Structure 1
Amino acid sequence: MSQKVTQSAQLQCDKGTKLSELKVSSQDFSTFEDKFIATENDAKPNENIFPFGNCKAKYNQSCTPQTQKWEKTTQNDEINNQKIVLETSECLCKTGGKITIINKGHNGKTEAG
């Protein structure tokens, strides 16, 4: 079963040249290992998802994320009516990139819900 993603998860864009870190701003009360759990609303460019270096889809110009929304989130588990981002979730960029999670942001091997 896929695990939830928390603040400081490492993100990778298949069109970017550098990694980025997720910042959770959609909620400030539900945590795992003392880090806020990410929800589908944590997809705002330059607030939650930051540039990935240079963008290969834009001829190596500086990355300016144009993120849409997180896909492949939880089906039934929610925080504040927002689906939870999982380590298998993806976020598409209007420039053509696909953002994936390469580190879920916590060390937990299992979660207690």
Structure 2
Amino acid sequence: MSKHITDTTQLKCNKGTSPTPLTVTSQSFMSIDGKPQATEEDKQPDINIKPFGMCRVLRSSCTPSPIKWDNTSDFEIEGKKELLDNSTCQCSIGGKISVVKSAQDFVKE
């Protein structure tokens, strides 16, 4: 079953060399374990998605250029679709951004 993702969830780009945490800024209404839940609007470079180390396409710093999140939830928060741990985002440079591990996985039961 897909999990919702929240602030600090680790993202990766298949053309980058290192993961980076997602920073949620699109909404502050819904949270899971005290962390804001991510939506399709959390895609701004250097704000929501930090660089992924070196880019294998550009052979320089891997600053993301996200286009649109796919595989989002059917549910919305304030009119924005929720992101899931299987959501992906195409980068206009040629990479694909995906979830490494949901922040929910780090919570101890």
TM-score (norm 2): 0.93
Specify the alignment match of 2:21 in structure 1.
21
Deviation at 1:79, TM superposition (A): 0.2
What amino acid does structure 2 have at the position aligned with 1:22?
L
The count of aligned residue pairs is 107
| 1:5-44 deviation per Cα after TM superposition (whole angstroms, max 9, x unaligned) | 0000000100001111100000012100110000000011
Specify the alignment match of 2:83 in structure 1.
85
Give the alignment partner of residue 103 of structure 2, picking from 95, 102, 105: 105
What amino acid does structure 1 have at the position aligned with 2:63?
T
What amino acid does structure 1 have at the position aligned with 2:56?
K
* 1:62 aligned onto 2:31: no
Shift >3 Å, 4+ stretches? none
CA distance in 1, matches of 2:47, 2:104: 20
Q: What SS class does the counterpart of residue 92 from structure 1 fall into?
A: strand
CA distance in 2, matches of 1:84, 1:90: 12
Percent identity reads 42
Specify the alignment match of 2:72 in structure 1.
73
